[in-house]
A and B are shown apart, each in its own frame.
Chain A
Amino acid sequence: MTAVTSSPATASSITLTSGQLPRWIEPVLAVGTAAVVAAVLLVLQLFNPAVWLVLTAVFYLLAIGIGAGIVEGRRKAVDRVVRGLVVCAFILAVAPLISTLWTVVAQGLKVLTWDFVTKVGGSVFDPNTLAVTNTPGALQAVVGTLIITGIAAVISVPIGILAAVYLTEYAQPSNPMRRVITFLVDVMTGIPSIVAGLFAFSLFALIVGPKAFSGFSASIALCVLMIPIVIRSTEEMIRLVPNELREASLALGVPRATTIIKVVLRTAASGIVTGVVLAVARVVGETAPIFIAASFTDNFNADPFSGPMQTLPVMAYTSWAFPGKDIEASQAQAWGAALLLVIVVVIFNLIARIVAKAFAPKSR
C-alpha cells in the first residue's frame, strides 16, 4: 500500500523528456560568434584573419559546451564540443592548403610569362661592363623535369605492372615469396626520398666515378619511389576485375598469359592508367632525390647521361637557398618554378581524373 501511494510522487519528479537545444543552434551560434568576434576585433583594431578564426573557435566551443551543459546535460555537451572540434580540425587542414596555393599563385604569377617557359634563364656576366644580367627562364628545368620523369616512368611502369600481375594473378596467397614481396613493397613506400637519391648517387659514383651527376641517375632514384606506388595502385585495380571474366576466358581455352593481357589488364586499363599518372604526379614534385642525384645547373642540358640536369623542384630550391647576386631575381625564379611545378602536378591530376571518368568500364 505504501508503495502504491509513493509511486505518483516519484513519477511527477521524473520527466521522460530532457531539455533540448533547437536543431539550428550550432550553425547559428557559429555564425553569431564569428560576427561578434569580428565586430569586437574591428572595434579594437586588432583584426587579423588567423586571430579571428582562433578566437571564434574558442568562444564557439565554450558557448556550446556551457549552453548544452546547462540545458541538455554533460553527455550531450561533450558530444557537441567534440563535433565542433572535429570541424575545426578540418578547417585547420584546409587553411594551409588554401594559403599555400594562394601564395604560390600570387608570387608565381609575377614572373610566369610565356617567355619564362620557353627561355633558358640564368645570370650572364658581361666582362666589359662588369654587370650581371639576370634573365628569367625555366626552359632548362622544364625539359629536365620531363626527361627525368619520363625515363623514370618508362622503367617503373612495366616493372610495377608486371610485379602487380605476379602478386595478384600468379602467386597464391600462401606463397611465401608473395608475402615477402607484399611486405617489401609496403616498406618501400616508406623509404625517405633523399635516401633514394643517395642510393642512385652511390650506384653511379661506384660505376662512373666521382662526377656521377646525371639525369639518368635521378631517374633511377625516382624509380625506387615510383615502383611501389605503381604496384600498389595496379594491384588494387586488378583485384576489382570480377573472377567470372577470368573463368570465362580460361574455360574457352585461352592461355593464361593471353587471359591476363587481353581480359584482366584490358578491363582494369583505365584504373591502371589513372594510377600510373597519379604516380608520375607524385614523383614529379620530388626535390631531394633529384637534387642529390642530378645536382643542379643553370645550363641547358638535354642529355640524361652526362652532366648535371636542372628540374623544376630543384630550381625552386636552389634559386631560393643559393641565390645569385640579385636575390630578388633569384627568389622570383624560385616562385616561378614552384608555380610551374604546381601547374604540372595539376595537369597530371586532371589527366588522371579524365582517364578514370572517360575510360571506365561501361558495364552495370
Chain B
Amino acid sequence: MTDVAQTGGATAAPTDKLVGKRRAGDGFFLGLSTTAAASIMVILAGVAIFLILKGLPAITANWETNHDLAGYQNKNWGSFWNYVAPLLWGSLWSSLIALVLGAPVAIGIALFISHYAPRKLAGPLAYVVDLLAAVPSIVFGLWGVIVMRPFLTPLAQFLNEYLGWIPLFRGPVSSTGSTMLAGGVVLAVMILPIITALTREIFLQTPRLNEEAALALGATRWEMIRLAVFPYARSGMISAILLGLGRALGETMAIALIISPSILFSFAVLTDGYNSQTIAGNIANNFPIATDMQRSALIGTGLMLFVVSLAVNMLARGIIGRSTNRTRKAPKIGKRA
C-alpha cells in the first residue's frame, strides 16, 4: 500500500497511473485540427462580414444625390433596394426556368441509372453524367452562345407565333437568340449533374424489401417506383432540387455571355433587351468598369445573392437532415414487424 503511494507520487491518486502522460505531439495535432475545423466558421463569418463592410456604403447611400449612383446604368433608382429587387427577380426567374426544364430530366436520368439501366452499365453511365459537372461553366457559356442561341431561335419563333398571347412568350422575338430561354436551357444543363447525383444516391437507398414487396404484388416497374421509391425519396428529391436552385442562382458566366438583358421585372423569355438581368450576370458585366461606389453597390447585390442562396441551401440541408434522421429509425421498425 505505502509502496504504491510512494511510486505514484504524493499528489497523484493511484488511478491516475492508467491514464498515462499526455504527449505534446498529441495535443499539438489535436489543436491543429481543431483550429482547421474552427476556421470554417471564421471563413463563413468573414465572407458575410467583408461583404457587409464593403457593401454597406452603397446600401445606405442616398441614390438620388450620390454622384456615382444617381442614374447608374441609365436609370434613377432612388435607393439600393429599388436597384437590387429587379436583379433578384432576374436571378430567381432564370433559376426557376432552369429548374422547370432541368429537374424532371435530372430525376429521369437518376431513375434510369438506378432502376432501369443494366447493373453493369450503371457505373459508367453515372460517370458520363458526372462529366457534365466537370465541364467548366465558361465552356458551357461559350457553347451556349454559338450553339444553343441559334439552335433555339426557330423554337422561339414558333412559340411566339402560336402562344404569343401568353406574357411568357411575348415578342419581339430576339433575332440573335440572346434570350432568357437560351440562358435557362444552358443553366438547366449545368444543374443536371448535381440533381442527378443526389437523387440517384437516394433512389439507390430505397429499402430493397419495399421494392420487392411491390413487385411481388404484381406492380409493373413504374408502379413499383411510384409506390416504393418516390415516397421514400420525396424529401431527398426536394432538397436535391433546392440545391440545384442554389447552384443556378449563383451561376454567372453562362448568363453573362448568353443573355442580353436590362434591369427590370419581366417574365419574357423570348426577347432580348426586355429580359430580366440576374445579380451574378450584372456583377460580371459591370464590375471591371465600375467606380469604387458602384463596386460597393455591386457587392451589396452580391450580399443579397449570398443571403438568398444561403437560405436556399440551409433549407435543403435541413430537409435532408430531417429525412435521414427518420430513415435511420425506420429499419428498426421494419425488423420488429
A residues neighboring B (CB under 8 Å): 50, 75-76, 78-79, 82-83, 85-90, 92-94, 96-97, 99-101, 103-104, 107, 158-163, 165-167, 169-171, 177-178, 180-181, 183-196, 198-199, 201-203, 205-206, 210, 223-224, 227-228, 231, 255-258, 260-261, 281-282, 284-288, 291-292, 295-296, 313, 316-317, 320-321, 334-335, 338, 341-342, 345, 349
Identify whether the interface residues of A are mostly helix, strand, loop, or mixed. helix
CA distance A349 to B298 in the complex (A): 35
Q: Does B179 count as interface, using CB distance less than 8 angstroms? A: no
Interface of chain B, main secondary structure: helix
CB-defined contacts of A284 to chain B, threshold 8 Å: 136
Q: How far is the CB of B206 from chain A (nearest CB, A)?
A: 16
Query: Could you tell me if A257 and B28 are in contact, using CB atoms closer than 8 angstroms?
Result: yes
Can you name the residue of chain B whose Cβ is closest to the Cβ of A334?
B142
Given A79-B221, A255-B23, is A187 in contact with B44 using a C-beta cutoff of 8 Å? yes
Name the B residues within 8 Å of A86 (CB-CB).
108-109, 111-112, 116
With a CB–CB cut-off of 8 A, which chain B residues contact A191? 47, 250, 306, 309-310
Q: Given A320-B145, A349-B134, verify A90-B37 contact (CB < 8 Å).
A: no
Q: Mark B99-132, 1 if CB is under 8 A from A, else 0.
A: 0000011111101110010000000010011011
Is there an interface contact between B314 and A192, defined as CB atoms closer than 8 Å?
no
CB neighbours (8 Å) of A345 from chain B are 134-136
Q: A114 to B315, alpha carbons, bound, how many Å? A: 49
Interface size on B, residues (CB 8 A): 94
Set B33, B125, B145: member contacting A170, Cβ < 8 A: B33
Name B's A-contacting residues (CB within 8 A). 23, 25-26, 28-30, 32-41, 43-44, 46-47, 50-51, 53-55, 104-109, 111-113, 116, 125, 128-129, 131-132, 134-143, 145-147, 151, 189, 192, 196, 220-223, 225, 243, 246-247, 249-253, 256-257, 280, 283-285, 287-288, 292, 295, 298-299, 302-303, 305-306, 309-310, 312-314, 316-317, 321
Residues of B within 8 A of A258 (CB): 25
CB of A163 within 8 A of CB of B39, answer yes
Give the residues in chain B near A76, CB-CB below 8 Å. 220
- Measured between beta carbons, the chain A residues less than 8 angstroms from B243 are 190
Q: Do A186 and B313 touch across chains, with their CB atoms under 8 A apart?
A: yes
In whole angstroms, how far apart are the Cα atoms of A193 and B111 in the complex?
30
Known: A94-B128, A191-B309. A181 touches B135 (CB 8 A): no
